[in-house]
Amino acid sequence: MNTKSLSVFINEYIKRELSPNLNERVKVTETVIICGGKEVPFGSKEHIQDVQRTLDGLEVIKSHWDKGRAPRHIISLSCSHIKNLLNKLLKMSGATEKKEEDKNL
């Protein structure tokens, strides 16, 4: 079996066997459970506030580590991912609020 046919075989295997399983693992939910165990709509004001509190807490923990240390780097990466989520939520909620304002006019 040459390299090209091996590559084609592996790609086909991944498409056939692994892709459906990967899609099944991702759960899209309309609600999330925030700190305290309360279930709220995804992207709601309470959800955004909870994500912001989580980010603030991680930033405090990160500040206790010296620059260049592995734990600080790991926490920094987590903060970066949470900031991205928060920005997406804020954009989403802004679009939602705008739609609601348009409906009220």
Instruction: From first to last of the 105 residues of the chain, give the pLDDT tens digit.
Output: 556 666 777 767 666 666 555 555 445 568 888 988 899 998 899 999 999 999 999 999 999 999 999 999 999 999 999 999 999 999 988 865 555 555 555
* Count of domains forming the chain: 1
**How far, in Å, CA of 98 to CA of 105, rounded?**
11
**How far, in Å, CA of 69 to CA of 58, rounded?**
15
Host domain of residue 90: 3-104
Per-residue burial over 87-98, b if 16 or more Cβ lie within 10 Å, else e, is: eebeeeeeeeee
